[in-house]
Amino acid sequence: MTKKRGVKIFKKLHKWPAIIIAFFAIVFAFSGIIMNHRQLFSSIDVSRNLLPSSYTYKNWNLAAVRGSLKLDSLNNLIYGNIGIWKSNNDFSSFEDFNQGFPKGIDNRKIYSVVQHKHSLFAGTQLGLYKRKNGEKWQKIELNVQDRIADLGLKNDTLLVLTRHYLLKSADGNNFKVVQLPAPYGYERKAGLFETFWQLHSGEMFGLPGKLLVDLLGIVTIFLSVTGLLHFFFPKIIKRRKKLLKKHKNKDIENHPLPPQGGNFVINNAENNNFQSLVKMKKLNLRWHNVIGYIFVTFLILNTFLGMHLRPPLLIAIATKKVGIIPGTHMDSPNPWFDKLRRVKWDENKNQYIFSTSEGFYFADENLTTDLQSAGSQPPVSVMGCNVLESLGENIYMVGSFSGMFLWNINNGKVADFFTQKSYAEPEGMQSPIGANMVAGLVQSDTKSYWFSYNEGVQKLFSKDGNPLPQFPKMTEEIRKVSPMSLWNVSLEMHTGRIFENILGMFYILIVPIAGICMLIVLFSGFFIWWKLYRGN
């Protein structure tokens, strides 16, 4: 292949995929910058009326409800992405219970609520809150900067689980930070998914890393815009040139003789505009090339990482482990760094049960010996465990986007809750999404309901044997004050899910296809610059 032919082929590879992918590249870059600074944008909401219909709450779907708490003999609290609402035993009336949380729906995304010594505690996306009789929620300043993952009780002790540590408090005001012992047979490795995620967001290198990734987002937008301009410039210039020539010919017809001692001065303003347009085209291309070759390596790496954070490529890395990169945010002496998700104290066996990103583990009361892997255990989606409830007699209900399962912690037997069939772990790669995407569970004295992420509330079982009534409809008041956070809208854009209404299930291919197109554009662009503009 000659140099000229090779450049011609790579120009086509650079041009057409770039035009196709430019819009998505801008969407991914813009949304990624917002996602990198969640707390900064936490007060900004987006009305669900401005979003596709699939983002409208229907039948308590979209993780509107994660759990419930029996408040007293007459009332319950339900909580989740809608915040916290007070309800009666029939869940037929709802009262806003969010007073005191900061502005923005993201600040009242609730993971867990418990009652401890006449006070309520709420674990939110961005902090721990406390509420006493009739008062508003007040934030508790903890001596660890970390996300709250779960709350629990161990007799009279309040348990606060963050993504890194377990905090314990006897009075609800003073907290002891406990770094959990390493698991038995611990190898200092990290999940490949987590490693890719931390690198892709820049979080692995702290704030400087995030700012670098933000810069890559800005560069992506710049290259997309300048690339589109370079595509349209020749067409605009050609039209201007024809117009200029037409006006020139017309002036010659009207004035056959030029002024004495000189040439025609024809449409001087139009000619200047034309020349400026030509210069602008050259300047646009020059900076497109300069910025492109400076950042091309970083853009290729970040694109490759991002492609693997969504299915189907996610499946290939979901269970893989790699060594921890020294000197990074993940290089922590804490073996449970960013791995903790749920905690339960089992009174019958006097042990803790921890749900982590690496499975379930048991720990003794004193938390002094190595944590023991649960061995045989139910599957939990990479998105985390949403339900972990004791049914008594060593049986736990475990729910996630992988489904709902009954787990006997004594003998390790696992059964699918809906089919009652024994669970057998499939061989090879498996989807992180099951047939029943369990987002939450609500229980009263006699009734239990589970919440599907897509379908909303579903009947579970009635403890008194009576037919289980339909869960009441979501009120207009709750819908009105439950918009979508700008961060979550950005997440939907960044993952391509926001296009599901248009593409159906094929939306899942947007990220990998867009990633492949971007890699083709980046590689071909560098080749063209190297061969043509460098003169090699």
Question: Residue ranges of the domains in the chain?
Answer: 98-185+339-377
Residue 261's pLDDT band (boundaries 50, 70, 90)?
Answer: very low
- For the cut 60, the answer to whether the pLDDT of residue 350 exceeds it is yes
Tokens at residue 187, please?
């190898």
Task: Name the band, by pLDDT with cuts 50, 70 and 90, for residue 73.
Answer: confident
Does residue 349 have a pLDDT over 80?
yes
Lowest mean pLDDT among 81-85, 149-153, 327-331, 488-492: 327-331
And the tokens for 32? Answer: 């990624």
pLDDT of residue 529: 81
User: 415: Cβ–Cβ under 8 A, 6 or more apart, which residues?
Assistant: 405, 406, 421, 422, 423
Between CA 231 and CA 105 the distance in angstroms is 42
CA 343, 204, 353: angle at the middle one, nearest 5?
10
Cβ(81)–Cβ(105) under 8 Å?
yes
The residue assigned the tokens 């200047």 is: 272
Using the predicted structure, report yes or no on whether residue 284 has a pLDDT greater than 60: yes
Order of strands across the sheet with 456-462? 438-443, 447-452, 456-462
Q: What is the pLDDT of residue 307?
A: 95
CA–CA distance, 106 with 38 (Å, rounded to integer) = 9
Q: What is the pLDDT of residue 86?
A: 96
Cα–Cα distance between 271 and 370 in angstroms, integer?
Answer: 80
> DSSP for 110-166?
EEEEEEETTEEEEEETTEEEEE-TTPPPEEE--SS---EEEEEEETTEEEEEESS-E
Top pLDDT among 6 and 497 is at 497
Element (H, E) at 501: helix 500-503
Lowest mean pLDDT among 114-118, 196-200, 313-317, 510-514: 313-317
What pLDDT, on a 0 to 100 scale, did the predictor assign at position 200? 97
Phi, psi of 11 (to 5 degrees): -65, -40
3-state class (DSSP) for residue 173 = coil
Which residues are registered as beta bridge partners of 78? 68, 85
* pLDDT grade for 3, boundaries at 50, 70 and 90: low
pLDDT of residue 264: 47
CA distance 273 to 525: 30
pLDDT of res. 127: 92
Q: What is the pLDDT of residue 333?
A: 92
Per the prediction, the chain carries an average pLDDT of: 89
Which amino acid does the sequence have at 75? N
**Tens-digit pLDDT profile for residues 220-231:** 999 999 999 988
Per DSSP, 325 falls in state P
pLDDT tier for residue 426 given thresholds of 50, 70 and 90: confident
**∠ CA 437-443-445, rounded to 5°:** 160
Kindly state the average pLDDT of the residues 280-301: 93
CATH, domain range 98-185+339-377: 2.130.10.10
- The tens digit of pLDDT for each residue in 202-222 reads 999 999 999 999 999 999 999
pLDDT in tens, 438-495: 999 998 877 889 999 999 999 887 766 677 888 999 999 999 999 999 999 999 999 9
Residue 96, C-beta contacts closer than 8 angstroms, at least 6 positions apart = 83, 85, 86, 477, 481
Asked if residue 197 has pLDDT above 70, the reply is: yes
